[in-house]
């Protein structure tokens, strides 16, 4: 039985395959850039919401301190009967502020600019011309001068390989910190909601209900 060996690809077929591969790499690179912009936008929105939540907690503390003495004393008396709830409420307020600060820190780490390189060996890319002007200007110039003679297919493919690896590493960090920021915001929101429910319960039992019964 004879075996049919695959015929070698013609130069035309090879050129088509190379062009298709480059277009595919371009699509992946654009998609990664779009995702990065979307993540940065979401991180900014999370930072805005968590700042509002921190303001709500601080405003609530300020409002309590500005209440007249009779209302403050009635609240203190109510919580003296249930000291555990008072400690829980205090802990929730402190924890919500702490989570808000952590959320903002995660957002800053998410949107912070990062060097578009991975590994210890610096590799220049025309797709992202980033280099240290004081130490790498010569090597970068040599690399970019390849444009004068024209890039080979292998060099073009290596350019996309380097940049896709770099943007993938950047994207992984952004997703990681954006997820942490979202989790911190969710925890902060939960603590504020539970604290509000506890406050409403005590206000209804010890302040609103007695007035209704009268």
> In the chain, where are the structural domains located?
17-213
Mean pLDDT value of segment 150-172: 82
Q: Give me the pLDDT at residue 209, please.
A: 66
Band (11; pLDDT cuts 50, 70, 90): low
Q: How far apart are CA 109 and CA 128, in angstroms?
A: 21
Cα dihedral 36→41→45→50 (10° resolution): 30
Q: Give me the pLDDT at residue 50, please.
A: 94
Band (107; pLDDT cuts 50, 70, 90): very high
Nearest residue to 90 via CA among 203, 199, 208, 181:
199
Band (120; pLDDT cuts 50, 70, 90): very low
**Residue 177 CB coordination number (10 Å):** 20
**Interior/surface letters 137-170, b for 16+ CB within 10 angstroms, e for the rest:** eeebeebeeeeeeeeeeeebeebbebbbbbbebb
91-100, 147-156, 184-193, range with the lowest pLDDT: 147-156
Mean pLDDT value of segment 4-17: 64
Q: How far apart are CA 214 and CA 206, in angstroms?
A: 13
**Overall size of the chain counted in residues:** 214
pLDDT of residue 196 exceeding 80, the answer is yes
pLDDT of residue 33 exceeding 70, the answer is yes
């Amino acid at each position: 039985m004879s075996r049919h060996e695959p015929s070698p690809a013609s130069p035309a077929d090879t050129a088509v395959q190379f062009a298709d591969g480059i277009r595919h790499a371009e699509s992946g690179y654009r998609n990664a850039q779009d995702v990065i912009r979307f993540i940065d936008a979401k991180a900014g929105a999370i930072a805005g919401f968590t700042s509002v939540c921190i303001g709500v907690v601080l405003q609530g503390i300020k409002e309590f301190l500005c209440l007249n003495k009779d209302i403050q004393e009635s609240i203190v008396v109510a919580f003296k009967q249930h000291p555990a709830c008072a400690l829980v409420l205090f802990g929730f307020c402190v924890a919500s502020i702490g989570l808000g600060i952590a959320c903002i820190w995660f957002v800053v780490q998410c949107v912070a600019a990062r060097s578009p390189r991975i590994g210890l060996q610096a590799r220049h890319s025309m797709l992202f011309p980033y280099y240290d002007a004081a130490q790498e200007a010569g090597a970068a110039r040599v690399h970019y001068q390849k444009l004068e003679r024209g890039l080979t297919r292998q060099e073009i493919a290596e350019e996309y390989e380097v940049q896709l690896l770099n943007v993938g590493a950047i994207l992984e960090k952004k997703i990681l910190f954006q997820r942490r920021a979202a989790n911190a915001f969710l925890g902060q929101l939960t603590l504020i909601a539970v604290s509000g429910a506890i406050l409403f319960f005590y206000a209804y039992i010890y302040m609103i209900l007695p007035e209704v019964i009268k």
